[in-house]
């Protein structure tokens, strides 16, 4: 994406709000901070209790009923729990992999498992039907949305009063919800990581060590996007400070930079020379080799092909940078 996009993204995070068009009007959507999030729970409990008084059952009560009626089985619930656990473990594994090709392979498995999990949860949700928790979650999200909408960039005057908001049609609520989801999508973790690695932000990286000094605000008043800017800024600044020989072509790529840093942090072992400048990597593709060490890195499989498909110990030691 163009540099202007990332400059705008960081500016939006700094402002603590997003300016958007709503019909013929300009509105301002406040970014959530940790204090705001307490309102979500407060509203959730409020509307959940309203639903209970109207006769809606809790999710626990509904699940108990559908199990008794054999519309759903405990085996299905165990499958959901198993998939959730498997996906969690796969994600941990991905974070430890050095090679992009291996991460891509695992991410495909994660996608497959996530799709299967989604279908199972969707089926259960359709059988369970609307619960008190569903009602509470939906209404509390709407209430929080009203709380975040303002007429002015100083975020002093809400766009709607409580009564005005309650009179909006469903399609109007959906339009506001879609607007908020668009903001969340644009300011996601991946985009913020890329933004803080752009050249225009390089002079600010070292300042991310001090969140209060950076924003002149206490942590509790910072939005989630402001926190992410300093968090990722600090993380990448530390990588640049403590990781040597980072190839220029990966300095603005968060995924490749993190993989390179993790590879370097493993350190040399097994008696490698101090000036050894090669690494041998099982299963590495050309792109993996370039990412991990540039032109000096070596793919073990490619070197083996040059020697008839096998490497003896002496050849392997030399590739790794040992004196033999």
Of 135, 159, 186, the residue at which a domain comes to its end is 186
Query: In terms of DSSP bridges, do strands 280-281 and 298-299 run parallel, antiparallel, or are they unpaired?
Result: parallel
The verdict on residue 117 lying in a domain is yes
Taken as a whole, the chain contains a residue count of 324
What integer pLDDT is reported at residue 290 of this predicted model? 61
Any domain includes 274: yes
What's the pLDDT at 143? 82
Rounded Cα–Cα distance for residues 259 and 217 (Å): 33
Do 272 and 216 share a structural domain?
Answer: no
Weakest mean pLDDT among 68-82, 210-224, 296-310: 296-310
**Per-residue confidence at 16, pLDDT binned at 50, 70, 90?**
very high
DSSP codes, 58-98: PHHHHHHHHHHTTSS-HHHHHHHHHHHHHHHHHHHHHHH--
pLDDT, mean of residues 200-224 = 91
- The pLDDT assigned to 20 comes to 92
The half-sphere exposure of 234 on its side-chain side, counting CA atoms within 13 A, is 11
pLDDT at 262: 76
Q: At what angle do helices 224-242 and 3-15 cross, to 10 degrees?
A: 120
Residue 162 domain flag = yes
Q: With 90 as the cut, is the pLDDT of residue 152 above it?
A: yes
- Of 177 and 276, the structure prediction assigns the larger pLDDT to 177
Q: What is the CA radius of gyration of the chain?
A: 26
How many helices and strands (H and E) does the chain possess? 15, 5
**How many separate domains does the chain show?**
3
Distance CA 14, CA 10 (A): 6
Q: Based on the fold, state whether residues 91 and 195 are members of the same structural domain.
A: no
Identify which has the larger pLDDT, 259 or 3.
3
Of residues 225 and 301, the one with the higher pLDDT is 225
84 and 100 belong to one structural domain: yes
Asked whether the CA dihedral 19, 21, 26, 31 is positive or negative, the reply is negative
What pLDDT, on a 0 to 100 scale, did the predictor assign at position 269?
A: 40
The mean pLDDT of 13-35, rounded to a whole number, is 91
With respect to residue 2, please indicate whether it lies within any of the assigned structural domains: no
Mean of per-residue pLDDT scores for the chain: 83
Q: Kindly state whether residues 243 and 294 are assigned to the same domain.
A: no
Q: Mean of the pLDDT values across residues 71-78? A: 90
Same domain, 75 and 124: yes
| pLDDT, position 43 | 83
For the record, the structure tokens of 101 come out as 């090709």
Contacts of 207 by beta carbon, 8 Å cutoff, 6+ apart: 213, 214, 233
pLDDT at position 24: 86
Number of neighbouring beta carbons within 10 Å of residue 71: 11
Instruction: State the pLDDT at residue 277.
Output: 46
Cβ-based burial of 137 (10 A; exposed 0-12, middle 13-18, buried ≥19)? middle
64 domain residue, yes or no: yes
Same domain for 165 and 274? Answer: no
- Residue 283: its pLDDT value, please? 56
Are the CB atoms for 120 and 80 separated by under 8 Å? yes
Q: Are residues 216 and 276 in the same domain?
A: no
pLDDT at residue 201 greater than cutoff 70: yes
Cα–Cα separations (whole angstroms), residue 189 to 9, 147, 175: 12, 24, 24
State percent of the chain over pLDDT 90.
Answer: 44
Same domain, 161 and 39: yes
Q: Is 80 a residue whose pLDDT tops 60?
A: yes
pLDDT digits (tens, 9 = 90+) for 247-262: 888 899 998 888 788 7
Q: Which domain holds residue 217?
A: 189-256
Q: Is 83 contained in some domain?
A: yes
Residues 240 and 286 in one domain: no
pLDDT at 145 over 60: yes
- Mark whether 182 and 34 lie in a shared domain: yes
State residue 273's pLDDT score: 43
Residue 9 lies in a domain: no
* Residues 135, 249 within the same domain: no
Residue 306 has a pLDDT of 66
Q: Can you give the pLDDT at residue 223? A: 94
Q: Which residue has the higher pLDDT, 182 or 278?
A: 182
Q: Are residues 61 and 122 located together in one domain of the fold?
A: yes
Percent of the chain with pLDDT over 70: 80
């Amino acid at each position: 994406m163009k540099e202007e996009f990332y400059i705008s993204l960081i500016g939006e995070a700094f402002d603590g709000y997003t300016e958007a068009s709503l019909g013929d009007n300009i509105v301002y959507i406040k970014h959530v901070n940790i204090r705001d999030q307490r309102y979500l729970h407060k509203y959730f409990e409020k509307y959940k209790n309203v639903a209970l008084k109207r006769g809606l059952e809790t999710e626990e009560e509904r699940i108990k009923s559908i199990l008794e009626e054999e519309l759903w089985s405990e085996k299905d619930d165990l499958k959901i729990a198993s998939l959730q656990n498997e996906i969690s473990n796969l994600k941990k594994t991905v974070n430890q992999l050095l090679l992009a090709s291996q991460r891509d392979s695992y991410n495909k498995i994660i996608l497959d498992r996530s799709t299967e999990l989604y279908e199972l949860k969707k089926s259960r949700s359709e059988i369970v039907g609307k619960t008190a928790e569903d009602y509470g979650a939906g209404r509390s999200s709407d209430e929080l949305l009203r709380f975040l909408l303002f007429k002015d960039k100083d975020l002093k005057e809400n766009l709607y009063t409580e009564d005005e908001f309650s009179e909006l049609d469903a399609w109007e609520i959906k339009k506001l919800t879609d607007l908020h989801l668009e903001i969340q999508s644009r300011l996601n973790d991946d985009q913020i990581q890329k933004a803080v690695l752009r050249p225009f932000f390089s002079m600010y990286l070292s300042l991310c060590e001090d969140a209060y000094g950076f924003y002149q605000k206490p942590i509790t008043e910072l939005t989630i996007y402001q926190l992410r800017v300093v968090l990722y800024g600090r993380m990448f600044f530390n990588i640049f400070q403590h990781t040597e020989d980072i190839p220029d072509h990966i300095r603005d790529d968060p995924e490749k930079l993190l993989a390179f840093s993790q590879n370097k942090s493993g350190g040399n072992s097994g008696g490698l020379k101090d000036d050894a400048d090669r690494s041998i990597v099982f299963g590495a593709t050309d792109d993996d080799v370039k990412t991990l060490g540039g032109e000096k890195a070596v793919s073990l499989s490619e070197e083996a092909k040059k020697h008839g498909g096998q490497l003896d110990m002496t050849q392997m030691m030399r590739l790794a940078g040992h004196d033999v």
